[in-house]
Structures are given as C-alpha cells and as structure tokens.
Chains A and B, each alone.
Chain A
Amino acid sequence: MIAKKSAPSWKQWVFPCLVGVILLAYPWVLGTVYTNIFIYFAIFSVFAASLNMLVSYLGVLSFGHALFYGGGAYATALFLDHIEGLGLFTVILIGGAAGAALGLIVSPLLNRVKATAFALLTLALGQLAYMACLKLRFITYGEDGVGGFPIPDLTLPGIASINMMTAENFYYLAVVVLSLCLLLMWFLTKTPFGSIMIGIRDNPDRVDFLGFNLPMTKAIVFVISGFFAGIAGAVYALFQNLVTPDGAFHIMTSFTPIMMLFVGGIGTFAGPIVGSGVMTIIEELATRYTTQIALFNGILLVLVVMYFRTGFVGLYLLIREKLFQKESS
C-alpha cells in the first residue's frame, strides 16, 4: 500500500478531535455507572498495554504481572494511609515508582530464564507477592486490605482545588493520566529503543552480536513495564479507595490482561486497548444474565487462540484489506 503523503492535513485531526470530544462528553451523556465502567476499562488498557510491552515487543509471557500492578496499588494506598498531605500526582508517581522498583528487583532473576521458564518464574513471583500480601498483616492488613484512605484533591497552585471523590472529576483525571501513559508507551515503541526491543523478540542472538547489552535492555523494559503497570495500579487504588490482596495480586489479576491482550490481538499496539474494551463490554453484558463471567472469558479465550490468533485488531486489518484491496494496489 502506498501512503498518500499529500493527504489534506485537516483529515489527520478529525479522528483525534472526535475521540477528544467523545471522551469529554462521555460522563455527562452516559451517567455515573458507565463512567465507572469506563475508568475500569482505562485502567486495564494501561495495565494490558504494559504487559504487551513484554509479550509483543520482548516475546515473553508474564503470568505475574499483578506483581507490578498490585505493588503500585499497595504503595499508593499505604502512602496515603500513613502519610498526610501527599499530592495527587505524587501518589500516582509513587505507585509507578513502586512498580518500576519491583521490575528492577526481579529483572536479574527474569533475565536468567526464557520461554516457558519465564512464564513459570513470573507465576511464582506473582504468587509469592500474593502470599506475602496475605501473610504480612502488620504491613498490608491481610485479607481486609487497605481501605478508607483519604483521596487527595487535585490542587493547581493558586488556581483551584478539585475534589476527586466525584465520579466525573475522577474520570477526567483517570483519562488524562492513562492516556498520557498510553501515549508515552506508543512513543517508546517508535524510538530506536523500541526497535531494539522488537529485535530481541525476533532474534536475541543477533541483537547481542550487534553490540547491544541484552540483559540491560531487558531490565529497562521490565522497569518501564513495571512503571506503567504500577501507575495503572495506583489509579485503581484511588478509584476503588480500597486495595485487597484478591483485587491487587490474585492470579486472576494477572490473567485478565493476558486475556485482553489475546482478545485484542498480540503483536500490535492497539491490541490491549481494543481487548480491554471488548472484555469490559462482554463482562458488562454478561453480568446482566449470569454470574459466571469467567466461563464467557474462558470460551472467548479458547475461541480467539484457536481460530483467530490475531485478535480483534487482526480481524479489523483483515476486513480493511479485503474491502480496500483494489484501491491500494
């Protein structure tokens, strides 16, 4: 397909502007319930996108990504619980930093293994975090989790102080923070560093021969992935005002973004976002008729892996190719 360089510039802005208007109007049109669902979707898009950095760009599957997500959520919750007067963006960054720190801690271990062993080691680390969270009561309060911590207002010095307890205000915060994360991740994949990541997935030996420091590069990816997962966790903690071991570290918290990733389509940047949207919609529809959402998820997952491994994004690309084949050739 030949890209049209001379396309009118205003056309490029139609889609982003449309998305912006929809995002702005969303909570006022659809009400609180759907606003909360959207926040949930946004959190999981970022979480799944951070996992996508490992799966699509590094070629390894993490079964314990909840380690970073839960770490971020707990860090934010515990800081707010124990220390007064922290700013909103400070605590979100604390969550990200906790995820990044965990990524840094586990990277020497993760660097030693690949393929199935990688999946198993991350599974072990994730479960270790879950068990530690349940058992270290004096820090994490065990099964009860950390809840009821104060949510700081968003203060713009000298201008305004915005209460974050209302769904609409929090919606805008979440959308801004999480969109920023997605944009940053997207830019990262376009940098030379992103190309090295893809090189590692396709042929690690060759990247090594070319003189790149393989363990260091992987470690940086783990840290970045952990950072964004931690931010997703931090926003989740602020959103729920309660973090529990089951919500933050449970094995299903690790499996959910994997499902989203595969439903959306691995190997693409949009995959996790689309997958998160599809899964959120399915979950929302399924809860009206049944309590067994996991059954739907399982069936969907099996169908996707069996019959269209490229996921919904791949399906879209396929349809586009079929419909517009003549024009482009």
Chain B
Amino acid sequence: MDPMTFILITQLVHGLAYGMLLFLVAAGLSLIFGMMDILNLSHAYFFMLAAYIGYTIAGMTNFWVALLLAPLVVVALGMVIERFMLRKIHPFGHIPELVLTIGIGLIIMEFCKAVWGTQSLMLQTPEILSGLLNIGVFRYPLYRAFIIFFAVAMMILMGILFYKTRFGTIVRAATADADMVNALGINVPLVYTVFFGFGTWLAGLAGVVVAPFLSVFPGLADQVGFDAFVVVVMGGLGSMSGAFVGAILIGLLNSFGIQFLPTAAPLLTFGLMALVLSIKPTGLFGVRQ
C-alpha cells in the first residue's frame, strides 16, 4: 500500500472514531434540547467529570467496571440538577437556564482541577482492546475500532429505546406536545428528569470511552464540548439523524483538517457552525429553533 492511501485510510478511521465519540456527546445534548428546550452548557463538563471518575474507578478495579459505574455517578448528578435547579428556573426563560448551566460547568471544572490536578492523565487501554487490528495489509489500533463499534451499538440501543418501548413512545409524544401527554395522566416532569439522566448517561459513557483515547485533562470539556456544540448546531438542535451526520462530518473535518490544513482546521469548524447558523438557524436537519 502506498503511503498516501495509508494516511488517508488512517485519517478516515480516526475521524470516524472521533466523530462517533462526538455523536455520543452531541446526542445527549441534542435530545435534551429537543425534548425539554434546555441547552445544557454543562453537558460537556458532565462528560469530563465521567472521564475523571472513570479514571479513578479504573485505577481501583478495571476499565469495564468504570464504564458501568462512572456514567451512573454523573447521571445521578444530572438528575439532581434537573430536578432541583433547572426545573425551578425553567419558567423564567432560556437566559437564566443558559447562565445556570455555565455556573454548574464552572463548578465541575474547578472541582475536577482540585481533585485530579491539572496534568494529563492517561487511562490504560484494557488488555483485550490494546492490540492492533489486522485487515489484510492494513493495521489499526483495536481500541479505536472498539469506539466505533461501541457508538454504533449505543445508536442501535437508542433506536430500540425510542421506537420499540413504551418509554420511547412517551418521550416522542412529550417532545411533540408535553401538555397533552401530561393531560393524559403521564408524569411528564418525571419523564423529563429520567430523560435528562439518559442524555447525561450518554455523555458519561463517552467520557469513560474517551479516557484511553484522548487522555483526561481539564481542557477536555472545552475541546470536545465545543465540537459537540458545533455538531448539534449543524445537525439541528433536537434532531438525532442531524447529530449523527454532523458528528461524522466534524470528526472527518477534524482529522483531515489537522492532517492537511493544520492552521485552518479549528477555524473551519467554527466557521462552518457560524455559516450554518446564519443560513439555516435550525441546522441541517432541524425543525424547531
């Protein structure tokens, strides 16, 4: 295989892996906005918190226990915040919500710095996934393939949850008309809390999965968080397919951009976001603003 093709394929798979990770983060963000009309600016900080907690749990036990437990910790936190904070200020419009979530983000950020320090922490890749994947002449780190596989599995799980279960039906109905669902005798506020927890869970999973891939450092939330915002905005707030397409696009743009246009890559991301927002404020697949 000639080197150029090799570089292209490597960057392609790398971009896909990063894109799928972004999808997990962005999906939670987008779903929460679509259903509850809350743009959770602290979403990326939940993601980072899960990465740190996962690092600690993995240090005590192993990666799989961390993948199971760490997201649950942030889910509990997310549900408490939704129940006791966001719900109270929801009647006052979107500006207090945005500001509140910034405040929560700042607190989580400083908490992480205080507990784990500011240095970069590398979580060991679990042994089973640490090898190289051999596809003919092409070799690729197994862990990145695992990320893609994991995100696709989560996507299928989400699909089943939304379209094949009673909870999914309620969620979709509440997104369309919350008052009507409430009138039918379903506890919509409770559904909101559980659903907020679910979105946070996705971010938490992504956080633990990212730890061996990008390492854990205080700038992680900003780095991945901004990309996730770009994804959500481009795909359209509230749209699942939009989040998917956006995530793959930004993932590829990131990996090819860094390879071929190292100076302009970060500019491209935000330029694209500004462009989409100004031409079609609802995003590529979005319906509501």
Q: Which residues of A contact B264 (CB under 8 A)?
A: 135
State whether A124 and B103 are in contact (beta carbons under 8 Å apart), knowing that A109-B278, A115-B94, A295-B111 are contacts in the complex. no
Q: How far is the CB of B87 from chain A (nearest CB, A)?
A: 11
Q: How far is the CA of A55 from the CA of B277 in the complex (A)?
A: 20
Stretch at the interface among B10-18, B68-76, B119-127, B229-237: B229-237
Q: Which residues of B contact A297 (CB under 8 A)?
A: 103, 106
Q: Is residue A173 within 8 Å, beta carbon to beta carbon, of the partner chain?
A: no
Question: Which of A63, A108, A124 contacts B270, CB < 8 Å?
Answer: A124
Question: Which of B110, B226, B271 contacts A298, CB < 8 Å?
Answer: B110
Q: Are A302 and B110 in contact (CB under 8 A)?
A: no
Q: Which residues of B contact A123 (CB under 8 A)?
A: 229
Q: How far is the CA of A174 from the CA of B122 in the complex (A)?
A: 47
Q: Are B273 and A119 in contact (CB under 8 A)?
A: no
Q: How far is the CB of B240 from chain A (nearest CB, A)?
A: 18
Q: Is residue B281 within 8 Å, beta carbon to beta carbon, of the partner chain?
A: yes
Total chain A interface residues with beta-carbon distance under 8 A: 41
Q: How far is the CA of A109 from the CA of B279 in the complex (A)?
A: 8
State whether A292 and B113 are in contact (beta carbons under 8 Å apart), knowing that A115-B94, A119-B98 are contacts in the complex. yes
Q: Which residues of B contact A128 (CB under 8 A)?
A: 267, 270-271, 274
Most buried by A among B85, B105, B237, B266: B266
Within 8 A of A (CB), among B61-108: 85, 88-89, 92, 94-96, 98-100, 102-107
Q: Are B88 and A299 in contact (CB under 8 A)?
A: no
Q: How far is the CA of A299 from the CA of B106 in the complex (A)?
A: 8
Q: How far is the CA of A151 from the CA of B98 in the complex (A)?
A: 39
Q: Is residue A305 within 8 Å, beta carbon to beta carbon, of the partner chain?
A: yes
Interface bits B257-287 vs A (CB < 8 Å: 1, else 0)? 0000001101100110110011001100000
Question: Which of A113, A116, A302 contacts B98, CB < 8 Å?
Answer: A116
Q: Are A306 and B100 in contact (CB under 8 A)?
A: yes
Most buried by A among B111, B237, B271: B271
Interface bits A22-57 vs B (CB < 8 Å: 1, else 0)? 000000000000000000000000000000000100
Q: How far is the CA of A299 from the CA of B109 in the complex (A)?
A: 12
Q: Which residues of B contact A259 (CB under 8 A)?
A: 99, 102-103
Q: Is residue B51 within 8 Å, beta carbon to beta carbon, of the partner chain?
A: no
Within 8 A of A (CB), among B224-247: 226, 229-230, 233, 237
Q: How far is the CA of A24 from the CA of B111 in the complex (A)?
A: 42
Q: How far is the CB of A254 from chain B (nearest CB, A)?
A: 10
Within 8 A of B (CB), among A274-309: 292, 294-295, 297-302, 305-306, 309
Within 8 A of B (CB), among A249-264: 251, 255, 258-259, 262
State whether A301 and B226 are in contact (beta carbons under 8 Å apart), knowing that A61-B95, A128-B274, A295-B111 are contacts in the complex. no
Q: Which residues of B contact A176 (CB under 8 A)?
A: none
Interface bits A293-329 vs B (CB < 8 Å: 1, else 0)? 0110111111001100100000000000000000000
Q: Which residues of B contact A61 (CB under 8 A)?
A: 94-95, 98-99
Interface class of chain A by DSSP: helix
Q: How far is the CB of B248 from chain A (nearest CB, A)?
A: 20
Q: Is residue B24 within 8 Å, beta carbon to beta carbon, of the partner chain?
A: no
Q: Are B92 and A306 in contact (CB under 8 A)?
A: no
Q: Is residue A180 within 8 Å, beta carbon to beta carbon, of the partner chain?
A: no
Question: Which of B100, B230, B237, B270 contacts A302, CB < 8 Å?
Answer: B100
Q: How far is the CB of B236 from chain A (nearest CB, A)?
A: 11
Most buried by A among B92, B102, B107, B226: B102
Q: How far is the CA of A209 from the CA of B163 in the complex (A)?
A: 44
State whether A295 and B107 are in contact (beta carbons under 8 Å apart), knowing that A55-B95, A116-B94, A306-B85 are contacts in the complex. yes
Q: Are A120 and B233 in contact (CB under 8 A)?
A: yes
Q: Which residues of A contact B270 (CB under 8 A)?
A: 124-125, 127-128, 131
Within 8 A of A (CB), among B187-239: 222, 226, 229-230, 233, 237
Q: Which residues of B contact A294 (CB under 8 A)?
A: 106, 109-110
Q: How far is the CB of B287 from chain A (nearest CB, A)?
A: 13
Within 8 A of B (CB), among A119-168: 119-121, 123-125, 127-128, 131-132, 134-135
Q: Are B106 and A298 in contact (CB under 8 A)?
A: yes
Q: How far is the CB of A135 from chain B (nearest CB, A)?
A: 5
**15 A-B pairs, CB-CB below 8 angstroms?**
A61-B94, A61-B99, A115-B94, A116-B237, A120-B233, A124-B233, A124-B270, A251-B222, A295-B106, A298-B105, A298-B107, A301-B103, A302-B103, A302-B104, A306-B88
Interface residues of B (CB under 8 A from A): 33, 39, 85, 88-89, 92, 94-96, 98-100, 102-107, 109-111, 113-114, 222, 226, 229-230, 233, 237, 263-264, 266-267, 270-271, 273-274, 277-278, 281-282, 289
Interface residues of A (CB under 8 A from B): 55, 61, 63, 108-109, 112-117, 119-121, 123-125, 127-128, 131-132, 134-135, 251, 255, 258-259, 262, 266, 292, 294-295, 297-302, 305-306, 309
- Extra 11 A-B pairs, beta carbons < 8 Å, given A131-B267, A135-B264, A258-B102: A109-B277, A112-B278, A116-B237, A128-B267, A128-B271, A134-B266, A135-B263, A255-B106, A292-B110, A295-B114, A299-B103
